[in-house]
Structure 1
């Protein structure tokens, strides 16, 4: 078995919570290759890192949940030190702009690098011509580009990247998600006895579509009077969404749960749900759902799914096969889909059966890791684009501090 050495450079990583954190963690956990992770420091990182089978180096790189480009110099120095110490065969950068570091070490040291992309990062810089040209250069010079969906792959192709250097590795589903009896404690806490529960799990940001579900609730309640909308997650939109629920006259039918930590606890919330709904939409400023692993997590827990027809959601949810897709801007279509799933038992059972089978076969982490490993083998087997020049040292920025 050929084993390559990988350096993964990512801002987001557990014990931080989120889809990208889980994505990179499971690549590191399940790959056959030797991997070292350079990630941002979180509360509880030390205890978490001790439990892992691969080395993790931490640094102060984040501002909120985003890489702080003001600390780019510190990140650069960490990467340089690890390149010299680990001598990896390839470096995987988990955010396109920090891939500029990979571009520099490619130019001045012949280092192979791969950029990992998630959809929104391929859209957000297009309004800024200068940054967009930098993104294009980073992508075109990379030895490979890893995408989380066909949707994201198409966005990368628009930058003129050779299709042969692009690979898709979807996010995976934790095995913890499964059907179980609803928690009496949670039913009592959220006053759900006898209620028909619609559930959304996700950060409270505009693209997730919580507002459209709230706006559709009056029509839903006319047909399903015992319906209640449970929102798990937190974020900058919470105050606006709470105000919207009052304006629509449905505040009594909306539950704001806040953040829930841990897959096992989240599975308990999935098992409260009669339906899972997240009508994500693409925003004008370049903001879209690149894939949406939460749809498959819900499906794995045997919950029927409704998704917005935008971004990569149509890959996570196969319309009429594993769930229903709706126009995320149409409250009428949203309400109609909810009522249809409530009233059409054969359809609901078929979607549950197909969705659960797909989540538990195609989207398990060990299956996806095989695709990732084959891609790493391909990149590392190709000749380096540029050998390290004898008269040009690797770029230096400041001093290195251990």
Structure 2
């Protein structure tokens, strides 16, 4: 890195909130060698969490879980304006595309650089709404850069007409805590897993994650692996439907819902209980897709063979036949066959585990991704501003109104 830049990150999610995006933005801030200032939501325990961080952080009651509270737009706008005036950053990174409208305003009326960070689903969810889609297009096309989490998401951004030279990819990273450890036998006993062949999913219980397809595949799996059990870690709006599906499929006793697990160390213990990791995400018609899937790489870091759905960005997190297996996420037969294949084929399993673990620990460590982020920001800051013809017209119109 030739020059240390000043960056303000405006994020809708951040620790101590729990989730993949929270970890993504925290680790970019922590491992970047640029000077970072963060604007983030308030959470219970935020004050204690922020103590000792190597970057400045401003909290406010305006953003939560990727949503903007419309009644607090004014407060958010004023805090961003104050922060930009005090920090005078080289670029502002907006962690949610609609929040980027603030960046667009400061670009029009202040000439300030801004970058939008995207994760996949946010590039799909607004396409059904003509007005919102037009705003998203305006925000993206006039941004100095767009940071994406995968090639899948990058392609979605390109579909909006964004100059590919301005798009960068920085994947989510794997925390070092995820590694092979001895089984916690008390945890195994608590879930009745002694002597079981454990299939594990970790993720929010929403339809796109594919828990339902694995449950539907369980009767076929149990015919050939009688001691198999499907352990689901996570919670969400789909839980009741999944529990009912397990009962109606006749596998309620072989599907265990562990609920939400907090903390990476505790989650690592669950990974270490399992023999296979499986999450067969699929893309839904209403713009719901897996942008990447860091859980696949967490599992690989622990030394577990991985099965993913051939959909969205999962094919970048899991290289088919190299670091894991990709399956048709709609085919319960293919899901079952892949589970049985990994259970029976020792050489295949060992090769996938070895190569998957190596890739996770060499390419997806936060230090490596932080350097990639820094290079991207330096490149964006060196580019001339994007074409602003439409925005110049807006600015001239606004000036005429003032006169």
Q: 1-side partners of 2:65 and 2:352: how far apart?
A: 37
| Aligned twin of 2:401 | none
| Aligned twin of 1:351 | 352
| Aligned twin of 2:97 | 96
Matched, 1:166 2:167: yes
| Aligned twin of 2:302 | 301
Unmatched segments (≥5 aa) in structure 2? 399-403
Alpha-carbon distance, 1:383 to partner: 3.9
Secondary structure of the 2:161 match is coil
Alpha-carbon distance, 1:323 to partner: 0.3
| Aligned twin of 2:238 | 237
| Aligned twin of 1:399 | none
Larger mean CA deviation between 355-364 and 258-267 belongs to 258-267
Distance of aligned partners of 1:280 and 1:69 in 2 relative to their CA distance in 1, 3 Å threshold: farther
Matched, 1:26 2:27: yes
- 8 A contact 1:39–1:58 mirrored in 2: yes
Alpha-carbon distance, 1:51 to partner: 2.9
Secondary structure of the 2:103 match is helix
Q: 2-side partners of 1:373 and 1:64: how far apart?
A: 26
Q: 1-side partners of 2:8 and 2:96: how far apart?
A: 14
User: How many residues are treated as equivalent by the alignment?
Assistant: 390
- 8 A contact 2:97–2:122 mirrored in 1: yes
Q: 2-side partners of 1:299 and 1:54: how far apart?
A: 31
- 8 A contact 1:120–1:286 mirrored in 2: yes
Q: 2-side partners of 1:13 and 1:33: how far apart?
A: 19
Q: 2-side partners of 1:116 and 1:383: how far apart?
A: 19
1:90-148 deviation line (CA, Å, top 9, x unaligned): 00000001100000000000000000000000000000111111100100000000000
Taking only aligned residues, the RMSD between alpha carbons, in angstroms, comes to 1.5
Larger mean CA deviation between 338-347 and 60-69 belongs to 60-69
Q: 1-side partners of 2:258 and 2:381: how far apart?
A: 46
Alpha-carbon distance, 1:348 to partner: 0.4
1:156-188 deviation line (CA, Å, top 9, x unaligned): 000000000001001111111111111011111
- 8 A contact 2:12–2:64 mirrored in 1: no
- 8 A contact 2:213–2:329 mirrored in 1: yes
| Aligned twin of 1:313 | 314
1:182-331 to 2 correspondences below 5 Å: 182-331=183-332
Q: 2-side partners of 1:259 and 1:165: how far apart?
A: 38
Distance of aligned partners of 1:179 and 1:14 in 2 relative to their CA distance in 1, 3 Å threshold: same
- 8 A contact 1:118–1:147 mirrored in 2: yes
1:356-377 deviation line (CA, Å, top 9, x unaligned): 0000001111111111101111
| Aligned twin of 2:48 | 47
Distance of aligned partners of 1:126 and 1:144 in 2 relative to their CA distance in 1, 3 Å threshold: same
Distance of aligned partners of 1:125 and 1:310 in 2 relative to their CA distance in 1, 3 Å threshold: same
Matched, 1:38 2:16: no
Q: 2-side partners of 1:68 and 1:337: how far apart?
A: 44
- 8 A contact 2:13–2:65 mirrored in 1: no
1:214-249 deviation line (CA, Å, top 9, x unaligned): 111111111111001001011111111111111111
Larger mean CA deviation between 288-297 and 53-62 belongs to 53-62
Q: 2-side partners of 1:210 and 1:78: how far apart?
A: 41
Alpha-carbon distance, 1:64 to partner: 5.3
- 8 A contact 1:111–1:384 mirrored in 2: no
Q: 2-side partners of 1:71 and 1:322: how far apart?
A: 45
Secondary structure of the 2:83 match is helix
Alpha-carbon distance, 1:67 to partner: 3.1
Q: 1-side partners of 2:4 and 2:64: how far apart?
A: 35
- 8 A contact 1:299–1:352 mirrored in 2: yes
Q: 2-side partners of 1:9 and 1:138: how far apart?
A: 15
Secondary structure of the 2:172 match is coil
Q: 1-side partners of 2:305 and 2:330: how far apart?
A: 21
1:280-306 deviation line (CA, Å, top 9, x unaligned): 000000000000011000000000000
Q: 1-side partners of 2:191 and 2:345: how far apart?
A: 27
Q: 1-side partners of 2:106 and 2:38: how far apart?
A: 18
- 8 A contact 2:92–2:114 mirrored in 1: yes
Alpha-carbon distance, 1:85 to partner: 1.2
